[in-house]
A and B are shown apart, each in its own frame.
Chain A
């Protein structure tokens, strides 16, 4: 280890300072919203809360989860995330496997068909018309089917599969396994790291999406998702801070909470699952992203 010069030390101090400031700027909004959501709603109006609640209470969460749409929205969001991720990952992996098979007869044609869709799409209106034509309006399937496969994910999985030695498949073939069994029993388990990464991306995508609900399912209260409910609260807050969207639904309800505290609690509810899952899958996605980044 060579001796540190004065300028190296200055640089190091500067560098660590920048990093700590960055961390504070990134974390502060989350901690602040968490603090307000755990604070007494009428006390919060006075302002001055930073990252610790002043008067601790869970009333904001209890009230939020008591609104009739919310338990449904939780159910639909979880269902869509689980079903959408399982089907999405399986489909992408299957497509990747088939177009990675050098001997597959339509390899080139199928690859080209997928790649074209990376660069051209029908756009908002034709897609909207298609969903209407297929009867997918106010239908749960509209969350699953249209976005089933993304060519980017296929490319990432395929580039991982290229690294698996061909002998593995050949020996299974000699044992008499068919192509589907080889995919299911051999290739898929070998792809676990990349599958984990892609699962995270797809799951986060499902969990975070609100626009398809806005466009296709907004008139069916039993199909709305959590992000969409938060978006509704937000846009009402933006339209007028005086309007209390949720208390308007039930005029007899006594106002235990303020719209503001409700919004904060809802923001945390929507963010929570990501905060919980994120640290565990972190080590996978950096590796997976690097593969994707290098290949594309």
Chain B
């Protein structure tokens, strides 16, 4: 492209350029400058000095982090809650989608879907409030347990470390179960109806068709989503843990993001917190790339 042609194109597209320009500036400020902030992880950051005048310390913070028992505790909690979420939370939306698909009464099906999507739209703050109400000593769970004589005294669910992981896992299932069925229901609609007709001719019942046609039909979607969630095990966030934890459950509640939050901002150790954040990002990216590669190998489907 010669110079005059380039100028001509630029002039012709001046409105497009004008439209995108503010967002490129926004992107650089709010998405790329924080990336540049990663160099803080290799410095001994002191507030008040520009970033290029800070003292370089190499990998000191990383070394310190790997010697910190709290870091390993946070890693353990992150991984355990992630895996519990996968084991208990992943199959349920698939089952629900299969069952919903078998409901032939459209009005009833719509009603159930509407109800099941609802918790997705309320905040984790609200969910935490609901959960602590349901699990309180006078809450409905304790009432049921006492009614059936499964426990004599109310159980203090929120204050018992051994229940915390279950509470986090199940409140997440409660919140997202219905919503997570959407993608499977969409996959089910693309299954060839002729398969069902052929099965009916062969004498298959409703349950049989569900297991032998619908389930295999959505299998590619299932596998892609499974691989994707494995790539995301380190990214479980912190909202649930932050909002559901109590003084008594800190030990089991701290996840990697809460570790970064309390060390980085809570105690003002910015460089240390950044180092932990860099570690998390690199690990997460590695997992994603691996999951992507694995997905391509096994299903031929690339996500990135």
Say whether A and B bind each other.
yes
Tell which of B63-71, B122-130, B293-301 binds the partner: B122-130
B182 adjacent to A286 (CB under 8 Å): yes
B270 to chain A: which residues have CB within 8 Å? 125, 129
Interface residues of chain A: helix, strand, loop or mixed (majority)? helix
B274 within 8 A of A: yes
Closest chain A residue to B303 by CB distance?
A296
Q: Counting CB contacts under 8 A, is B89 at the interface?
A: no
Q: How many residues of B contact A (CB 8 A)?
A: 84
Known A-B contacts A105-B10, A148-B26, A263-B129; the reply to A180 vs B265 at CB < 8 A is no
Tell me if A230 counts as interface (CB < 8 A to partner B): yes
B226 interface residue (CB < 8 Å to A) = no
Alpha-carbon distance A294/B288, docked complex (angstroms): 19
B27 touches A290 (CB 8 A): no
Q: State the CA gap A64–B33 with chains docked (Å).
A: 41
- Cα A41 to Cα B10 with chains together (Å): 68
> Within B30-49, which residues are at the interface with A (CB < 8 Å)?
30-38, 40
A12 an interface residue at 8 Å Cβ cutoff? yes
Chain B residues positioned under 8 Å from A119 (CB to CB): 285, 288, 304
Please measure, in the bound complex, the distance between the C-alpha atom of A179 and the C-alpha atom of B96, giving whole angstroms.
Answer: 46
Please name the residue on chain A nearest to B265 by beta carbon. Answer: A128
| Stretch from B14-22, B161-169, B212-220 contacting the other chain | B14-22
Measured in the bound complex, the distance between the Cα atoms of B114 and A27 in whole Å is: 11
- Supply 6 A–B pairs (Cβ within 8 Å), ascending by A: A7-B207, A130-B33, A180-B15, A227-B125, A264-B133, A270-B123
- Residues in B with CB closer than 8 Å to A101 are 16
Q: Closest CB-CB distance, B220 to chain A, in whole Å?
A: 12
Task: Tell me the nearest residue of chain B to A263, going by C-beta.
Answer: B129
Q: Which of A90-98, A156-164, A250-258 contacts B (4 or more CB under 8 A)?
A: A90-98
B85 within 8 A of A: no
Q: Which chain B residues border A125 with CB–CB below 8 Å?
A: 37, 40, 260, 264-265, 270, 273-274, 277
**What 0/1 pattern do residues 65 to 107 of B give for CB contact below 8 A with A?**
0000000000000000000000000000000100110110000
Q: Is the CB of B115 within 8 A of A27?
A: yes
Q: Which of A197-256 contact B (CB under 8 A)?
A: 204, 207-211, 215, 227, 230-231, 234-235, 237-239
Count of A-B residue pairs with CB < 8 Å: 235
Whether the Cβ atoms of A127 and B34 lie closer than 8 Å is yes
Q: Which of the listed residues A101, A122, A146, A289 has the most CB atoms from chain B within 10 Å of its own CB?
A: A122
Contact of B30 among A130, A286, A290 (CB under 8 A): A130
The residue on B at minimum CB distance from A286 is: B182
Q: Decide if A122 touches B243 in the complex (CB within 8 Å).
A: no
Q: How far is the CA of A120 from the CA of B108 in the complex (A)?
A: 43
What CA separation (Å) do A106 and B32 show in the bound complex? 18
Q: Which 5 pairs across A and B sit closest by C-beta, in order of nearness?
A: A122-B34, A126-B37, A123-B277, A208-B123, A179-B15
Chain B residues, CB < 8 A from A175: none
CA distance A35 to B99 in the complex (A): 32
Contact B116 A22 (CB under 8 A): yes
Interface bin, chain A? 35 or more
Of residues 27 to 49 in A, which have CB atoms within 8 Å of B's CB atoms? 27-30, 32-33, 36, 47
Residues A267 and B182 in contact, CB atoms below 8 Å apart = no
User: Is A15 interfacial (CB-CB < 8 Å)?
Assistant: yes
Residues of A within 8 A of B10 (CB): 105
Q: Are A145 and B132 in contact (CB under 8 A)?
A: no
| A117-B31 in contact (CB<8A) | yes
In this assembly, does A279 line the interface, its C-beta being within 8 Å of a C-beta of chain B?
yes
Report the minimum CB–CB distance from B118 to chain A (whole Å).
7
How far in angstroms is the closest Cβ of chain B from A113? Answer: 6
Interface residues of B in 248-304 (CB under 8 A from A): 257, 260-261, 264-265, 270, 273-274, 277-278, 280-281, 285, 288, 304
Enumerate B140-185 residues with CB–CB distance to A below 8 Å.
Answer: 140, 158, 174, 177-178, 182-183
Residues on B with C-beta less than 8 A from A99 are 20
The answer to whether B206 touches A12 (Cβ under 8 A) is: yes
**Known: A125-B37, A238-B246, A278-B121. Contact between A270 and B126, CB under 8 A?**
yes
In angstroms, Cα B189 to Cα A290, docked, is: 11
**A230 B38 Cβ-Cβ under 8 A:** no
Q: Which residues of B contact A178 (CB under 8 A)?
A: 15
